[in-house]
Structure 1
Amino acid sequence: MNDNPTPPRRPAALRRAATLPAWSLVAAGALAGALVGGGYGAVRTPVYTATGYVVAVPTAKSDPASALGFAQAYGRVATQLAVLGDAQVWAGVPVATLRDSVQAATSPDAPMIAVTATSSRPDLAADMANAVTRALTRHAADVQSATHVELQQFARATEPAGPSSASAGVTGLVGASAGGLLGGLLLLVRPRRRRPEPGRAASVPGPALAAEAHGQL
């Protein structure tokens, strides 16, 4: 029976990693991550964002608190089918595109609604945001006699000058950071180099050698 069984062989990749300097794994991971991240940012379609604003104004039969409350309500219905169905005519895109591309946000302190649209075309992003704000003000005007609150356009959405998505440089930096972190984690799990086992201090004589030594006594 073998008292010293042969240890299992490590995978070739781990054996090679054990022979590399520590800094090389981090550097290689950062370089690979930068290449992947930069390449993704270069080939990805840019995204443009445009935002339009409308404000709720109380009439003579209402008050600012009511205007603030209706602004919250109109912000919730801005992306509903009743509004988007009218907005698609002015935007020139289907309702499904508006539903996926338009978001509305309100403020708890001001009776203002921000309508934001995203698209791969800067002009279409502005058109969709303006179409939704226009449809929303039309719907508010239809029920103004009951709500006593009027929605007015505060600022039109303008065509963005540049994309809102991250550039290739930013995605490259993110990839380099992630790759460097992965390389650092690999340092923690890579196997250490084996040191040669020291020889035994004394060897046990075999049976024949022990008998011969006993006969000489």
Structure 2
Amino acid sequence: MTTTDLPTSARRPSPLGRVKALPPWSLIAAGALAGGLLGGVYGLAKPPAYTATAYVVAVPTEKSDSASALGFAQAYGRVATQVAVLGDAQVWAGVPVRTLKSSVQTATSPDAPMVAITATSDRPDLAADMANAVSRALTRHANDTKSATNVELQQFARATRPTEPSSASPAVTGLVGASAGGLLGGLVLLARPRRTGRDQGRPASVPAPAVAAEAHGQL
């Protein structure tokens, strides 16, 4: 049988065969390239985010001590994002309560009676305004009950307008995407079927019993 007598499927490798014939590192390289492109596009399409933080500190009165101030600072950190506080903060921030609820976070320290109020926005001036508005509203609510708690809440540091975005740059998102794509390509490489002797162009070996039977038939 000549080469022209072979069917087309026997002379032309299938797409799966061509994929199997690629070197192993090509899957990792393709995954890293695709992931890097997707990550870079995501970083360019997503608007930058800006973060501003204001700090308030709990100070004990003459009838209290530092341990009580530390405990109330933890409590104030939990109530800072409640509707009672955000309802007043929305007036000074100029945004609705739902925006403050989704954009403002608080953090406390187990060692210092301080509350950090952080706001995030795509506008740097709005991020600072929201953080300062919540800190102002929280201080006002806390001091309304100062006679009962014997702890006063004071402003420690105002939030300032951020000059640089806090979100990742397109270069960083591209690197993250490339790493994830390369990892995915490596997993696919590990999961793909192993190449056999027939796939690599070598004739398949004939079992020994079959060779013996053929020789016996020729006798």
Q: State if a TM-score over 0.5 links the two structures.
A: yes
Equivalent residue of 2:211, what SS?
Answer: coil
> Could you tell me which residue of structure 2 aligns to residue 3 of structure 1?
none
Deviations 1:45-94 (A, max 9, x none): 11111110000011112111111111111111101111000000000000
C-alpha separation between the residues in 2 aligned to 1:14 and 1:116?
Answer: 53
> Could you tell me which residue of structure 1 aligns to residue 133 of structure 2?
131
> Could you tell me which residue of structure 2 aligns to residue 197 of structure 1?
204
Contact 1:57 1:67 (C-alpha < 8 Å) held by counterparts: yes
Within-5 A mapping of 1:50-65: 50-65=52-67
TM-score for the superposition, normalised by structure 1: 0.85
> Could you tell me which residue of structure 2 aligns to residue 141 of structure 1?
143
Equivalent residue of 1:53, what SS?
Answer: strand
Structure 1 unaligned segments of length 5 or more: list them: 1-11, 211-217
TM-score for the superposition, normalised by structure 2: 0.85
> Could you tell me which residue of structure 2 aligns to residue 70 of structure 1?
72
C-alpha separation between the residues in 2 aligned to 1:189 and 1:104?
Answer: 45
Based on CA coordinates, which of the two structures has the bigger radius of gyration? 1
C-alpha separation between the residues in 1 aligned to 2:111 and 2:41?
Answer: 43
> Could you tell me which residue of structure 1 aligns to residue 159 of structure 2?
157
Deviations 1:165-197 (A, max 9, x none): 111111111111111111112222223333221
Structure 2 unaligned segments of length 5 or more: list them: 1-13, 198-202
Contact 1:14 1:191 (C-alpha < 8 Å) held by counterparts: no
Equivalent residue of 2:171, what SS?
Answer: helix
1:204 Cα offset (Å): 5.4
User: How has the CA–CA distance of structure 1 residues 51 and 13 changed in structure 2, closer, same or farther, with 3 Å as cutoff?
Assistant: farther
Determine if the alignment matches structure 1 residue 36 to structure 2 residue 43: no
Within-5 A mapping of 1:147-186: 147-186=149-188
1:15 Cα offset (Å): 2.6
How large is the RMSD of aligned CA atoms in angstroms?
1.6
Identity %: 74
Equivalent residue of 2:28, what SS?
Answer: helix
1:95 Cα offset (Å): 0.5
Contact 1:52 1:114 (C-alpha < 8 Å) held by counterparts: yes
> Could you tell me which residue of structure 2 aligns to residue 110 of structure 1?
112
C-alpha separation between the residues in 2 aligned to 1:14 and 1:161?
Answer: 52
- When structure 1 is superposed on structure 2, of 113-122 and 17-26 the one drifting more is 17-26
Q: Which amino acid aligns with 1:198?
A: S
Aligned length: 197
User: How has the CA–CA distance of structure 1 residues 189 and 171 changed in structure 2, closer, same or farther, with 3 Å as cutoff?
Assistant: same
User: How has the CA–CA distance of structure 1 residues 145 and 13 changed in structure 2, closer, same or farther, with 3 Å as cutoff?
Assistant: farther
> Could you tell me which residue of structure 2 aligns to residue 91 of structure 1?
93
1:13 Cα offset (Å): 5.2
